[in-house]
Structure 1
């Protein structure tokens, strides 16, 4: 994969959408067009807070047909590593941010017309761009959007008044409206592709339901900008060029083990999203837990993202 470039953008508008979610509009200082993207793409936003840096991935929710600006939505997470709180408390109109060029791990699958989107909370954002990119009739698109209560349902009014309003189904848990996955899957045509973005519990529920019904995993797609569980059995990692051999503990990542030894590896997101810490595998087999490599690249066992992935073999030799 190619390295992603950094772009300096101005924050030109901020909207408070719900008590916890803000929408940020970003544009180049000279007003030129930003790089093109397709629905499902995300950017990595880098934020400097004094001597500290935060690097968070956010889906682009604006229309791919208008690249005069990008829009992202940020949910305030008090228990996070700090990036969302920084965006809410310290970023204002006129602030400058560094973002990466767009990358896309969540594009529509080719070869079928039927695409079903399942969103939980802030996980609706990539689907907004998907819907904006494709006019009614181009594909059979369907969105199921679940959220806690009406005041937390960001974008509901926009979706209900948009061109795909007839294919948007909203579920507010506080009002007793629940997304029932079993009948949803049971009524899908066999060639449909299903996409889920939201909390881990929703992603797990979608995959478990699909598994119960024998749904092909190749027709399931998920995205979540947080590292999956990085724990596992301890193993040995060998840094071939450095001649260093380390034990990676049950509750630490390869990256943390390397840093514990006083060494460093470039890593921005630290959640298996940006690809900055990708290194070559020389010996052993990776247990891939990132969201950056595609299925073919993971199967090839040529590289590993040391911030999130582990080893399936007791010993892993990497090109560091």
Structure 2
């Protein structure tokens, strides 16, 4: 059936999109504006949401949305070229241009904004500002108190610098490689947070590792973070058995193999995407055994509960896991 212009794509599994414009706001970052191929209104997106971009080689990459709302006619994503990455950012930078068509998933949100708070602290590093910007715009619209701590190497590396500068003293920039450098003291920022403040963090792995460690004992839901990459290596140590309760299979996980790889080799279909423990697509219910969590999708409390596992990266703390597959 032919799509009707300006009608929403409702319930779509995949969205055919076209590149409307490409900008290079800072070094090594491209900002892509994407529109529905047939002009439809796009599914709504909340602050913190991302889309899965399906690349021609079959790879799937996740990118945070810069724009959020209920009546969107375009999505914008900012993509940083990763020198030692898996090729997704390089392809988008070198090949993806105006007029190119590509398939994407509707928005998903693993980094939702709790709008019930009255005081917010946002912490971002580099490209990590992308999911944070729409959060800032939302809490500003709601009239809430907020502060952004944004760390970059140099002022010219700050994405959306003009927009952020318009907020005045609510935004604090940190530049580590200027002639007069200023560095983000994460411990000081978190220590000064009011007891009821909601804190959101997105940035490079060292920042997120420190943030996770410093907020590990905070009340549930008060501190949230979003990772663009794994913070730990996937567990490939092997030496345990995974039982699939619904399939009736028992799999010996060998050295150099992830649980997901063993399950797929056995012919059992498990949805997966990033294969780094970031996106949550492969989340599976644990019926018995203790997972060795390596993901950044579950919160510390959710990991401690031990009833879910990201099979793409996590392992087993014993000799047996029983999964609801």
TM bucket by the smaller chain? Answer: 0.7 to 0.9
Structure-2 change in CA distance of 1:9 and 1:218 (3 Å) = same
| 1:171 aligned partner | 174
Structure-2 change in CA distance of 1:263 and 1:158 (3 Å) = same
- Structure 2 Cα separation of the partners of residues 206 and 289 of structure 1: 16
1:42 and 2:50 correspond? yes
User: Quick check: 1:272–1:290 contact (8 Å CA) kept in 2?
Assistant: yes
- Structure 2 Cα separation of the partners of residues 301 and 106 of structure 1: 21
User: Aligned pairs, how many?
Assistant: 310
- Structure 1 Cα separation of the partners of residues 104 and 203 of structure 2: 22
| Deviation larger for 294-303 or 187-196 | 294-303
User: Quick check: 1:57–1:273 contact (8 Å CA) kept in 2?
Assistant: no
- Structure 1 Cα separation of the partners of residues 222 and 283 of structure 2: 27
User: Quick check: 1:277–1:306 contact (8 Å CA) kept in 2?
Assistant: yes
Q: CA deviation at 1:189?
A: 1.4
| Deviation larger for 215-224 or 123-132 | 215-224
**Following superposition of structure 1 onto structure 2, how do residues 95-110 of structure 1 map, counting pairs within 5 Å?**
95-110=100-115
Which of residues 248, 253, 277 in structure 2 aligns to 1:247? Answer: 253
Q: CA deviation at 1:283?
A: 3.0
Structure-2 change in CA distance of 1:304 and 1:71 (3 Å) = same
1:11 and 2:19 correspond? yes
RMSD over equivalenced CA pairs, Å: 2.8
User: Quick check: 1:146–1:171 contact (8 Å CA) kept in 2?
Assistant: yes
TM-score (structure 2 length as normaliser)? 0.84
In structure 1, the gaps of 5 or more residues are none
TM-score (structure 1 length as normaliser)? 0.85
Structure-2 change in CA distance of 1:208 and 1:104 (3 Å) = same
In structure 2, the gaps of 5 or more residues are 1-10
Which of residues 186, 190, 200 in structure 1 aligns to 2:195? Answer: 190
Q: CA deviation at 1:131?
A: 1.8
Q: CA deviation at 1:35?
A: 0.8
Which of residues 227, 231, 235 in structure 1 aligns to 2:230? Answer: 227
CA deviation digits over 1:240-278, x for unaligned, max 9? Answer: 4263422243x5421233456687644222123444433
